[in-house]
Amino acid sequence: QLLADENTRGANLTTHYKLIIMSWLNASVLSSDDVFDETADELSLMDKEWTNNMKKRVLDGYVDGADAGEDASLQEGFNQGFIEGAARTAAVGTLKGTVCAIQSWYQIQHPGTPVPASVTELLQLITQHEHQVLDSINKDLENPPQTVSDISESMEDLEVKGCSESDCCKRAENMDMDSPSQPHTNCPESVKTTFSLSQSLNHLVQRCMDIVTELGLPHEIKDDLEKLKTQ
Amino acid sequence: MSDMKENLILEHRLSAHPDSRCWFVAWSPSGSLLASCGGDKSVRIWGREGDSWVCKSILEDGHQRTVRKVAWSPCGNYLASASFDATTCIWKKKNDGFESLTVLEGHENEVKCVAWAPSGNLLATCSRDKSVWVWEVDEDDEYECVTVVNSHTQDVKHVVWHPNQELLASASYDNNICIYKEEDDDWECRATLQGHTSTVWGLCFDTSGERLASCSDDRTVKIWKEYPSESGQDLSWKCVCTLSGYHRRTVYDVSWCQLTAALATACGDDAVRVFKEDEGGDPNQPVFSLVAQATRAHNQDVNCVAWNPKEAGLLASCSDDGDIAIWRFKED
Amino acid sequence: MAIERSGDIFDSILLADDMFRGEGYREGYAQGTCRGLMGGRRHGSSHGARLSNEFYFYHGFASTWKYLLQQNTDAKCRKRLKVLESLLGLIQDCPLVDPQSAKLPNDAEKIRAKFRQVMELFVVCLQLDQISCLQLEQRLHVSLE
Question: Which amino acid would we find at residue B56?
Answer: K
Residue B233 has pLDDT above 60, yes or no: yes
Interface contact C68, partner A, CB < 8 A:
yes
Residues of C in contact with B148 (CB under 8 A): 113-114, 116-117, 120
- Greatest Cα pair distance in chain C: 104
Question: What local confidence, expressed as pLDDT, does residue C125 receive?
Answer: 41
Please provide the size of chain B in residues: 332
A103-117, A184-198, C73-87: the lowest-pLDDT one: A184-198
Q: Which residues of A fall within a CB distance of 8 Å from C42?
A: 77, 81, 140-141
**In the prediction, which pLDDT does A40 show?**
66
- Higher pLDDT among residues A167 and B223, named by residue: B223
pLDDT at A178: 39
Q: Is the pLDDT of residue C82 over 50?
A: yes
Mean confidence (pLDDT) of chain B: 94
Residue B232 reports pLDDT greater than 90: no
> How many contacts, defined by CB atoms under 8 Å, are there between A and C?
313
Average the pLDDT over each of A158-162, B157-161, B230-234 and give the range with the smallest value.
Answer: A158-162
pLDDT computed for residue B216 by the predictor: 97
The closest alpha carbon to C55, from C85, C84, C105, C94, belongs to C94
Identify the pLDDT of residue A112: 86
Average pLDDT, integer, range B157-164: 97
Cα–Cα distance for residue pair B139/A62, rounded to 1 Å: 75
- The 3-state DSSP class for residue B179 equals strand
Nearest to B150 among C86, C113, C119 (CB): C113
Residue A2 clears pLDDT 60, i.e. is over it: no
Spatial CB neighbours of B225, under 8 Å, sequence gap ≥ 6: B210, B211, B212, B237, B238, B240, B283, B284
More confidently predicted of A9 and B180: B180
For residue A204, is pLDDT > 50? yes
pLDDT at C22 over 60: yes
How far is residue C40's CA from residue A145's CA, in Å, rounded to a whole number? 11
Q: Give the pTM.
A: 0.74
Interface of C with B (CB under 8 A): 79, 82-83, 86, 109-110, 112-114, 116-117, 119-121, 124, 135
Instruction: Verify whether the Cβ–Cβ distance C20 to A85 is below 8 Å.
Output: no
Q: How confident is the model at residue C7 (pLDDT cuts 50, 70, 90)?
A: low
CA distance C10 to chain A (A): 9
Q: What 8-state DSSP symbol labels residue B278?
A: P
User: Which residues of chain B does C114 touch, with a Cβ-Cβ cutoff of 8 Å?
Assistant: 148
The more confident residue out of B4 and A173 is B4
Residues B43, B67: contact at Cβ < 8 Å?
yes
**CB B327, CB B19: distance < 8 Å:** no
Q: What CA dihedral angle connects B191, B193, B198 and B202, to 10 degrees?
A: -80
Q: Report the pLDDT value the prediction gives residue A163, as an integer from 0 to 100.
A: 42
pLDDT at A30 over 60: no
pLDDT for A47: 80
Any idea what the CATH number is for the domain that residue B127 is in? 2.130.10.10
Amino acid A38: pLDDT: 57
Q: Mean pLDDT across the stretch C116-135?
A: 58
B197 DSSP assignment: S
Q: A137–C49: do the CB atoms touch at under 8 Å?
A: yes
Please compute the mean of the pLDDT values over residues B126-149 and round it to a whole number. 93
B74 pLDDT more than 80: yes
Quick one: average pLDDT of B59-76? 96
Q: Does the structure show a pLDDT above 60 at B45?
A: yes
| pLDDT, average across residues A100-104 | 92
Instruction: Kindly report which listed range (A1-15, A74-88, B242-256, C78-92) carries the lowest average pLDDT score.
Output: A1-15
Does A83 score more than 80 pLDDT? yes
Q: Exposed/middle/buried for A227, CB within 10 Å: 0-12, 13-18, 19+? A: exposed
The single-letter code of the amino acid at A10 is: G
Number of domains in chain B: 1
Highest mean predicted confidence (pLDDT) among A135-149, B254-268, C87-101: B254-268
B165 closest CA partner among B228, B209, B223: B209
- Best CA proximity match to B199, nearest among B216, B187, B186, B183: B216
One-letter identity of residue B251 = V
* Numbers of helices and strands, H then E, in chain C: 4, 0
**Residue A167 reports pLDDT greater than 60:** no
Banded pLDDT at A49 (limits 50, 70, 90): confident
C124 min Cα distance to partner chain B (Å): 8
Mean pLDDT rounded to a whole number for chain A = 72
Q: Could you say which residues from 36 to 55 on chain C have a Cβ atom under 8 Å away from some Cβ of chain A?
A: 36-55
Cβ-contact B114, B127 below 8 angstroms = no
Q: What percent of chain A has pLDDT over 70?
A: 58
Say if residue A156's pLDDT is above 80.
no
Indicate whether B244 pLDDT > 90: yes
Other CB atoms within 10 Å distance of the CB of residue B145: 22
Q: ipTM, 2 decimals?
A: 0.76
The least confident of A9-23, B7-21, B124-138, C1-15 is A9-23
φ, ψ of residue A50 in degrees (nearest 5): -60, -50
pLDDT value at B174 more than 50:
yes
pLDDT value for C120: 85
Q: In angstroms, what separates the C-alpha of B87 from chain C's closest C-alpha?
A: 13
Identify the band that residue A192 occupies on the pLDDT scale cut at 50, 70 and 90: low
Verify whether the Cβ–Cβ distance A167 to C34 is below 8 Å. Answer: yes
Domain that holds residue B178: 2-329
Confidence of residue A21 (pLDDT cuts 50, 70, 90): very low
Q: How confident is the model at residue B311 (pLDDT cuts 50, 70, 90)?
A: very high
HSE at residue A180, side-chain half, CA atoms within 13 A, is 25
Mean per-residue pLDDT, A12-41: 49
E strand segments, A9-119: none
Chain C, nearest residue to A25 by Cα: C6
